[in-house]
Amino acid sequence: MASPGAARVLGSTLVATLLAACAPGAADPAPVASGSSDTASSSVTGSATPTATPSSTRKPAPVPLATDRGRWSAAVVAYGGGDSPYNYGPTVLLESGRHRMWWCSQLGAAVPAGDDLLYSESGSAAGPFVAPNGAPAMPVLSGSVTGFDGVHTCDPSVVKVGGTYFLYYTGAAGDHAHGNAIGVASSTDGLSWTRLAGGAPIVSPSYDKTRENTYGAGQPSVLVVDEWFYLMFTDTTGEAAGWNGAGQFVLRSKDATFASGVQALGPDGFQSVPDTRTKRTRSVVDAFSADWMYVDVLGAFAIAHETDAGTTLTFWNKDFTASPHPVVHIPGQWREGPGLVRTAHGHAPVSLEDPCGRIAVDVIRATVDGAAAAPTDLQQFGLDLVGVPGCTTVPSASVLHGFAMPSPQNTMDLVLGGKVVRIERRSVTDRLAAKVLDRRPAVVDRMPVVARIPAGAKAVRSSDGQIGLLLSKDEDQDQLWVLGAGPAAEEIVALNSSEPTLVTKAAWEAYPKAGNLRR
């Protein structure tokens, strides 16, 4: 919710009371004596740095990242409409060209009276964002009345796994000490949500330490890497939080509700713990209200948090043992937590222009305190990271999925899941690839060639209209590579001079399945 600390003086007594439970405060420099070992001492009002690298072994020097194409919407991109007094803490999911955004506000029409989660969408991060019903925004989750989140729902973070959206949020039953905790809900459309875990919080304050800041646990940001849900959050009672409660802690689990298999990030890496209320022994950045994403091409996490320089990006490698790059700043005014534009799993979007060397980073953040003295006026800011040392390993080259490039054999190579399908005709490649690159990244030579598509390759059509190619590598047995049904699949087999043979559903199912050529 809004920065943990003193409650804001709002335009009405009611709004002031409602927001008091939600505000952690501003992260100020921690007064640390010389030689102190306090691990959460770096200021988040200057050039912030990650807190506490766990190993004393020598690490490679951080590799600077250049930037270009700085951008700013210069106008408000989304607002709640009606009587909404504040708009902040967004989460933005890029899906099929749509920027889907959820954020914290308050609408008088939504009951009970308290923080609500609103939704709208746009074709661009620069807006304008509009709800599916044509309104500026629509409420999608409000207080449960009776649960831990009885009054307030705020600080959303959304990911999509398979066909299911998961929403992590801060909930509170009212204005009382340590009243915030983290809940989770699921949805099939991102609009209608069902609370999980029986409506109980999945992360509560750890109560490691008592501080003047009594906000508790909240401001979650979730992403998915290698089937693990990584949850970063604020806990002002955590042992490794700063003097003012600032700090970001990390838990992970393969269970979206964090009811089992929980691991906590500590000084020695991830360790299994009994539950989510384990002692918070390590903070990854000295901040409140942060967001993060996994940057596949770098093999690193990027944490977005606010400092005097704007939104600061702090980087950690995959196992949190080193900071591979110095911080990067997205300048401009701000008042409350940035929301990164991310993919369904909470990863950085892949650049079609240069997937291995360019990363577009866009955030939406509140920029002023409005008439209610609370954060509002959501605007978009961004830049590109350029000259990125990406695709140096096969894992980091996962960003090449769906891209094609020239092969050493005067054909084209299509990368699918870290493997290569070699295609004879350029016209077919153009239809199958997200984009055809002019230059071949060296890492592709380390990927196995698993199939070849010669002109006239055998094609089959199932009784339900599905089309596929029967392909092999060298003299191996034919395997079925699916193209799908519809005009696009018909066009591809026509361009390849492959006339499909009708087969029964049983015969289709009997073919060894290799994969989907249409990404």
The CATH number of the domain holding residue 214 is: 2.115.10.20
340 and 467 together in one domain: no
Q: Are residues 426 and 281 in the same domain?
A: no
If pLDDT is split at 50, 70 and 90, which confidence band does 26 have?
A: low
Domain end, chosen from 357, 386, 415, is at 386
Give the whole-angstrom CA distance, residue 336 versus residue 25: 10
Domain check: are 326 and 402 in the same one?
no
- Alpha carbon 300 to chain centroid, angstroms: 13
Q: Which residues contact 493 (CB under 8 A, 6 or more apart)?
A: 459, 467, 469, 483, 499, 500
The pLDDT-based confidence of 484 (bands split at 50, 70, 90) is: very high
Tell me whether residue 228 is exposed, middle or buried, using C-beta atoms within 10 angstroms of its C-beta: 0 to 12, 13 to 18, 19 or more: middle
In a domain, 57, yes or no: no
pLDDT at site 181: 97
Tell me which of 436 and 1 has the higher pLDDT. Answer: 436
Residue ending a domain, among 340, 358, 386, is 386
Distance of CA 364 to the CA centre of its chain: 13
Specify if 16 maps to a domain. no
Express as a percent the part of the chain with pLDDT over 70. 88
Q: Which pLDDT score is estimated for 472?
A: 86
Supply the pLDDT for residue 46: 33
pLDDT of residue 9: 28
Which of 7-16, 85-94, 178-187 is predicted least confidently?
7-16
pLDDT digits (tens, 9 = 90+) for 107-159: 988 999 899 999 999 999 999 999 999 999 999 999 999 999 999 999 999 99
Say which DSSP state 506 is in. H
Q: In this structure, what token pair is assigned to residue 133?
A: 């019903």
CA distance 468 to 95: 26
Q: Alpha carbon of 1 to those of 155, 219, 290, 341, 368: distances in Å? A: 5, 6, 11, 19, 16
- The model's pTM is 0.89
Number of domains present in the structure of the chain = 2
Mean pLDDT of 421-447: 96
Same structural domain, 307 and 194: yes
Distances in whole angstroms, Cα of residue 290 to Cα of each of 247, 284, 417: 9, 11, 31
Whether 41 is in a domain gets the answer no
| Residue 328 domain boundaries | 66-386
Instruction: Give the pLDDT score at 474.
Output: 67
Domain match, 365 and 413 both: no
Residue 343: phi and psi, rounded to 5, are: -80, 180
Q: Cα(303)–Cα(13) distance, rounded to whole angstroms?
A: 35
Whether residue 260 is contained in a domain is answered as yes
> Are 355 and 273 members of one domain?
yes
148 and 198 both lie in a single domain: yes
Q: Are residues 118 and 142 in the same domain?
A: yes
User: Which comes out higher in pLDDT, residue 338 or 29?
Assistant: 338
Whether residue 363 sits in one domain with residue 243 = yes
Residue 390 has what DSSP assignment? -
Same domain, 405 and 379: no
pLDDT in tens, 359-382: 999 999 999 999 888 999 999 999
More confident residue, 370 or 182: 182
Mean of pLDDT values over 189-212:
97
Separation CA 391–CA 353 (nearest Å): 14
Mean of the pLDDT values across residues 504-514?
A: 95
Q: Which of 37-51, 237-251, 285-299 has the lowest mean pLDDT?
A: 37-51
pLDDT of residue 372: 85
Whether 225 and 363 map to the same domain: the answer is yes
Question: What is the arithmetic mean of pLDDT over 275-301?
Answer: 97
Per-residue pLDDT for 309 more than 80?
A: yes
Q: Which of 105-109, 122-126, 458-462, 490-494 has the lowest mean pLDDT?
A: 105-109
CB 478 within 8 A of CB 471: yes
The reported pLDDT for the residue numbered 495 is: 98
Task: Please determine, for residue 49, whether its predicted confidence score (pLDDT) is greater than 60.
Answer: no
254: in domain:
yes
Choosing from 365, 386, 407, the residue where a domain stops is 386
pLDDT band at 60 (very low <50, low <70, confident <90, very high): confident
For residue 20, being part of any structural domain is answered with no
Mean predicted lDDT score pLDDT of the chain: 89
Whether residue 178 is contained in a domain is answered as yes
Beta bridge partners of 293: 302
Give the DSSP letter of residue 113. Answer: S
Residues 376 and 405 reside in one and the same domain? no
Residue 112 in domain: yes
